[in-house]
Amino acid sequence: MSVMIKKEEIRKQRMMIFHPALAPYRIDQFNLLNELFDLEVVFLFDNLRNFSFDQQKLQEACHFKISYLLRGPRYKGRLFRFGMLRMIKKAQPDIVFSYEYSFTTQYLIFLKRTGLINQKIGSFVDDSLHICNNVQSYARKWARSYSIKHLDFLVVMSDEVARFHNTHFFLDDKEVIVSPILQLPERLRKNRVKIEALATGYISEYQLVGKKVALFVGRFVPEKALSLFINRIADILSERDDYRFVLVGEGREKEQISAIVKAHQLEEKVILPGKFQADELYGWYACASGFILPSLFEPFGAVVNEALIFGLPVLCSQYAGASTLIQQGNGYLFNPSDDSDIVHKFSSFMENIQVVERVDLSNTPPLIEDHRSYFNKEWRKVSYG
C-alpha cells in the first residue's frame, strides 16, 4: 500500500494547453513545462498566420505531446475550434490553459461555470505593461475583466505585469505565474560550427568586416515602426561609412522601406537580405554587432531574447515586453515615439558596439541570465495554488 501511495505522489500532473500554432520561440517553454507536467499542447492552426515556419523541423525539437484541432469557424482573426470538450474529457488533464482573452478562453470559462469540466483553468496573456495600461478596445477591456474573475491562473511575461494584475484586479501572487518567452542558449547555439560558417559567409557577401552592424529581425509591418526609425537615423547612417543596418525578414511594408532607403541614398548602408529561419537566421545574430527593436507595439519580442543569447547588446523599444530583459551592460531602452530620443540612443548605441571581425561564438557568451530556477518556482504555483 505504501508503494502505491508513493507512486501516486510522484505522478506528474497532466496539463493541456490550447495554443494557436507552434513557433520556434515557444519550444523551450513547452519543453520545460513537460519536465514539470505531463504536457499535451493542442494547436489550433497548422502554422502561424503571418509567418510560416518549417513545422517538421520544429517538431523534432519538441519533447511534449502535440495534437491539432483545425476544424471550426474563424472570423477576423478570432476562431472557435470544435472538439475541445471531447479532448479534455479524453485526456483528463488536471489543468487546462488557453491563450489571451480569446473565444477559446471564454469557452473554457463557460465549460467550467456550467460544470461540464472541473479542472483548474488558466490563460497565457502576452501583454506588455504598456498594453496593460492602454487597452486596445472596449471589447478587450471587458473580456479581460470577465476572464480574470473566472480563471484560476494567469500567465504573464514579467514581474511588472504581474504587479499590475495584483494591484488592479486584486489577484494573489499564487494566481499569477510569471513566465516570459525565453529560449535556451544550448538549443539555439547547438550547431556552432554551422552557424559560424553561415555568419562568415554573410560577412563576406555583404562586406561587413570592420563595420558596426545593427540587426533587426522580424516582420515588416507598421507596428515594428521600421519606416519611422530609418527616417530618423538616415542622417547618421549617411555620415558614417562604418555603419550598417541589416533588416532580416519580410512583410507588406518592404516596398515602402525600400523606397525610404532609396530616397535617402542608403542602399549601401541598409541591407535587406530576406527571410531566414533556424541556423540560417542564427548566422545573422552571430555576425552582427548589436540588435535593434524599434516597435511601437510589441507584446513581448522574442527576438530580443535570441539576440542576447548570441551575445548581442540590444537597443530596445520601451514599449516591448522584452524590455524587461534589458539591464545595465546588455543594452539600452528608448522611446520610438520620440525623435530626439531615437537619435540620441541610436548614436550612443552605435558608438559602443564593436566592429565585425572573425566570428567565434566560444568567445561571445550570452548576455542573459539562466532563468530555469525562476521558471520552475513560478510554475509550482499550479501544483500548490
Residue in the structure block whose three cell numbers are 488533464: 93
Phi then psi dihedrals of residue 312, to 5 deg: -95, 130
Q: What's residue 385's pLDDT?
A: 57
2-182+370-384: CATH architecture: 3-Layer(aba) Sandwich (3.40)
CA–centroid distance for 293 within its chain: 12
Contacts of 377 (CB under 8 A, 6+ apart): none
Residue in the structure block whose three cell numbers are 467550467: 112
Question: Strand pairing of 65-68 and 176-178?
Answer: unpaired
CA 98 – CA 155 distance, rounded (Å):
10
**Helix, strand or coil, per DSSP, at residue 313:** coil
Contacts of 57 (CB under 8 A, 6+ apart): 278
CA 64 – CA 141 distance, rounded (Å):
33
Where are the chain's structural domains? 2-182+370-384, 185-363
Q: What's residue 136's pLDDT?
A: 81
Residue in the structure block whose three cell numbers are 537566421: 281
pLDDT, averaged in runs of 10, over the chain (385 residues): 48 94 94 96 88 86 96 81 96 97 96 97 94 89 96 95 95 94 92 98 97 97 96 96 96 95 96 95 98 93 94 96 91 96 97 95 93 92 79
Using left for φ > 0, alpha for ψ between -120 and 50, and beta otherwise, residue 249 falls in: left
Contacts of 309 (CB under 8 A, 6+ apart): 183, 185, 188, 189, 285, 366, 368
List, in sequence order, every beta strand (DSSP E) within the chain. 14-19, 38-43, 65-68, 74-75, 78-79, 95-99, 120-124, 153-156, 176-178, 212-219, 243-250, 270-274, 290-293, 314-317, 331-334
Asked whether this chain's domains 2-182+370-384 and 185-363 adopt the same fold, the reply is yes
Q: Could you tell me which of 102, 80, 201 has the C-alpha nearest to residue 146?
A: 102
How does 250-272 read in b/e, with b if 16+ C-beta sit within 10 Å? ebebbeebeebbeebebeebbbb
CA 277 – CA 211 distance, rounded (Å):
24
Single-letter amino acid code for the residue at 94: D
DSSP state for residue 285 in the 8-state scheme: H
What the block records as the C-alpha cell of 267 is 542602399
CATH class of 185-363: alpha beta
Phi then psi dihedrals of residue 99, to 5 deg: -135, 140
